[in-house]
Chains A and B, each alone.
Chain A
Amino acid sequence: MTPPVVHIRDLRKVYVVSQQQAGARAALQGLIHRRKVEVPAVDGISFDVAAGEIVGFLGPNGAGKTTTLKILSGLLHPTSGEATVLGYAPWKRERSFLRQMTLVMGQRNQLIWDIPAINSFELNRVIYRIPVEDYRRTVAELTDLLDLGPLLHKPVRNLSLGERMKCEIAAALLHRPKVVFLDEPTIGLDVTMQRRIRSFIADYKRRFEATILLTSHYMTDVETLSRRVVVIHHGRLLFDGDLSILVRKFTSHKTIVVQLGDCQADLSSYGDVVSCEDGRTTLRVPKAETAHVTERLLADLPVIDLLVEDPPIEEVIERVFAQGAQ
């Protein structure tokens, strides 16, 4: 078996923060003495990512996702534990390692602001020592996949947020990294642009067999891109596995939609009535009783149609986070 591309064991990152009290007097006292507090951002997490895998990395704000990505891309030195990427210790920042990975941060930009993106591309070509032939081919491919054509020659400051993000992503992938860390690549973009970037990431993975670790606030990103998700909260691992298992595990209820023709009948004895529109009643039922309730509904009522659904993924994740917080 090939070794994992990303390997993390008992990873910890602790920040030392000096505390500041409110008020002018306390602030002046702080001139002389101040309290230091240790804040663990990542608190002993372990997981591996195999070659060619896409993993969705989930957690609420401040869970430690970005810290983990920064450790993996060599920007942060872990406090303790192991982290290797492609067999390298990232924080040593060996050039051969840096040439094989990339980090895209949705909220920051690396492109030079006042000049066209193509100039930044050219610069990356020499920085990553990409052969001219490969460079041309990759730019052509990326231009095609991301529809960059008219954007590359405009100053970056004149691009819209979505256009800029497309160029950012392209610039980060020119050297065809084997490992791609994406930190909120779709943040702030409209739905169409999000979809575009999502399908591009899927394409890129397929074409270049890249290993991708992706964080996102938008569940749709994770849902469409990765079967496997890693959920962390307060720096600890909550779940690692198939998205469908996560859903199953954290779903205590199912939704049953019954079509009866009108909204006259009182269905509250079958489950919680969420809504009723155009004769379609939505019921929330404990998972274990789904089969039983369905049977009763079909037996008792003139049902025209009946549908059993999982609750929306956002709701599930919210529950995961809520449980993690306890």
Chain B
Amino acid sequence: MKYLRLFGAFLRASIVGEAAYRINFFIQLFESLLSLGISLAGLAVIFSHADTLGGWRPDEVLALVGVYFLVGGVIGLVIQPGMEQLIESVRNGTLDFTLTKPEDAQFIVSIRRVEIWKLMDIVLGLGVLAAALVRLGQEIGVLQAAEFVGMLLAGAVIIYSFWLILATLSFWFVRVENILVIFQSMYEAGRWPVSLYPGWLRYGLTFIVPVAFATTVPAEALTGRLGWETMLGAVAMALVLLVVSRVFWRAGLRRYSGASA
């Protein structure tokens, strides 16, 4: 509850901050729509030449695009801005201000920056997802819906922990923002079912940069492709990464206070 209130405060601050750049609201709206349009147009081009893509029907890939936008929106809304600022504040020492606040520092650095306009991607993602489900005309049982939400949550936790680990590297290395660039290009690959990719790339997108868990796996849950092994794997991966990232963060903080003292 207390955490929710804190998040609300940061959200309000970012609304005030962003409103100064009113043109960005309209540009982001335009940009999100355009980006989605291009995505859909891309699918249209591909499916004008083929009936299925690696065994996925058009509306199933559409559902995947919805998930891709939804998760991308969450990353852009809060995960990425916070982690980028974390790296910046480790470098210029402003992390001190955060560490002196009487709250859990990991929580604060994770939510303190919110790019509100990215909410648009989340809304659009949900819209696309809904449209895809209607077009699939498939009955979604309670169990399947729960599986989907569960996988989505697991994916979000995995992505968050992964970003936190990367950002925490900045306690040891000065320039890590480049690693974040790698993630962004890897995430692009999550627009498509990972089963398309040759083995080495599929492996990389699952275990090295865990994009697959955030996009393909939830979409698989929704389209009834998911086996219980993958489901357990995703949950286990989420828990393990969450713990590992916490340990990493602690070690980083020890290093930070040791180095600056």
Note whether A and B contact each other (Cβ less than 8 A): yes
- CA–CA, A30 and B20, complex, Å: 7
Most buried by A among B19, B20, B22: B19
Per-position binary interface string of chain B over residues 17-41, scored 1 when its CB falls under 8 Å from any chain A CB and 0 otherwise:
0011010010000000000000000
Residues of B within 8 A of A31 (CB): 19, 22, 25
Select which of B15, B20, B22 is within 8 A of A24 by beta carbon.
B15
Residues of A within 8 A of B15 (CB): 24, 27-28
Chain B nearest Cβ from A14, distance in angstroms: 21
- CA–CA, A31 and B25, complex, Å: 9
Bin the interface of chain A by size.
Answer: 10 to 19
Chain B nearest Cβ from A63, distance in angstroms: 26
- CA–CA, A79 and B12, complex, Å: 38
Chain A nearest Cβ from B140, distance in angstroms: 36
Chain A nearest Cβ from B105, distance in angstroms: 26
Whether a CB of chain A sits under 8 angstroms from the CB of B142 is no
Residues of A within 8 A of B143 (CB): none
Q: Which residues A182-209 have CB closer than 8 A to chain B?
A: none
Whether a CB of chain B sits under 8 angstroms from the CB of A22 is yes
Residues of A within 8 A of B20 (CB): 20, 27, 30
- CA–CA, A31 and B19, complex, Å: 6
Residues of A within 8 A of B12 (CB): 24
Interface of B is mostly: helix
Residues of A within 8 A of B25 (CB): 31
Residues of A within 8 A of B19 (CB): 20, 24, 27-28, 30-31
Bin the interface of chain B by size.
Answer: under 10
Residues of B within 8 A of A22 (CB): 16
**Chain A residue with Cβ nearest B13:** A24
Chain B nearest Cβ from A230, distance in angstroms: 35
Chain B nearest Cβ from A178, distance in angstroms: 38
- CA–CA, A34 and B25, complex, Å: 15
**Chain A residue with Cβ nearest B25:** A31
Chain A nearest Cβ from B206, distance in angstroms: 37
Residues of B within 8 A of A20 (CB): 19-20
Chain A nearest Cβ from B101, distance in angstroms: 22
Residues of B within 8 A of A30 (CB): 19-20, 22
**Chain B residue with Cβ nearest A34:** B22
Chain B nearest Cβ from A174, distance in angstroms: 31
**Chain A residue with Cβ nearest B17:** A27
- CA–CA, A31 and B28, complex, Å: 14
Residues of B within 8 A of A27 (CB): 15-16, 19-20
**Chain B residue with Cβ nearest A20:** B20
Residues of B within 8 A of A32 (CB): 22
Per-position binary interface string of chain A over residues 28-46, scored 1 when its CB falls under 8 Å from any chain B CB and 0 otherwise:
1011101000000000000
- CA–CA, A303 and B8, complex, Å: 72
Whether a CB of chain B sits under 8 angstroms from the CB of A131 is no
Chain A nearest Cβ from B252, distance in angstroms: 23
**Chain B residue with Cβ nearest A23:** B16
- CA–CA, A182 and B7, complex, Å: 46
- CA–CA, A30 and B25, complex, Å: 12
- CA–CA, A20 and B22, complex, Å: 12
- CA–CA, A23 and B25, complex, Å: 18
- CA–CA, A32 and B12, complex, Å: 18
Chain B nearest Cβ from A185, distance in angstroms: 24
- CA–CA, A30 and B12, complex, Å: 15
- CA–CA, A32 and B23, complex, Å: 10
- CA–CA, A23 and B15, complex, Å: 9
Most buried by B among A20, A27, A30: A27
- CA–CA, A213 and B26, complex, Å: 45
- CA–CA, A27 and B12, complex, Å: 10
**Chain A residue with Cβ nearest B11:** A24
- CA–CA, A22 and B20, complex, Å: 11
Residues of B within 8 A of A23 (CB): 16
- CA–CA, A22 and B13, complex, Å: 10
**Chain A residue with Cβ nearest B18:** A27
- CA–CA, A23 and B9, complex, Å: 11
Residues of B within 8 A of A28 (CB): 15, 19
- CA–CA, A30 and B17, complex, Å: 11
**Chain A residue with Cβ nearest B22:** A31
Chain B nearest Cβ from A155, distance in angstroms: 13
- CA–CA, A34 and B19, complex, Å: 11
- CA–CA, A20 and B20, complex, Å: 7
Residues of B within 8 A of A34 (CB): 22
Q: Which residues A37-58 have CB closer than 8 A to chain B?
A: none
- CA–CA, A278 and B157, complex, Å: 72
- CA–CA, A20 and B16, complex, Å: 9
Write the residues of chain B forming the contact surface with A, with a CB cutoff of 8 angstroms: 12, 15-16, 19-20, 22, 25
Write the residues of chain A forming the contact surface with B, with a CB cutoff of 8 angstroms: 20, 22-24, 27-28, 30-32, 34
The 10 lowest CB-CB distance pairs between A and B, nearest first, are A27-B19, A27-B16, A31-B22, A24-B15, A24-B12, A30-B19, A24-B16, A20-B20, A31-B19, A28-B19
Pick 19 A–B contacts, CB within 8 A, sort by A: A20-B19, A20-B20, A22-B16, A23-B16, A24-B12, A24-B15, A24-B16, A27-B16, A27-B19, A27-B20, A28-B15, A28-B19, A30-B20, A30-B22, A31-B19, A31-B22, A31-B25, A32-B22, A34-B22
* Sample of 4 more A-B contacts, CB < 8 Å, known A27-B15, A34-B22: A22-B16, A24-B16, A27-B16, A30-B20
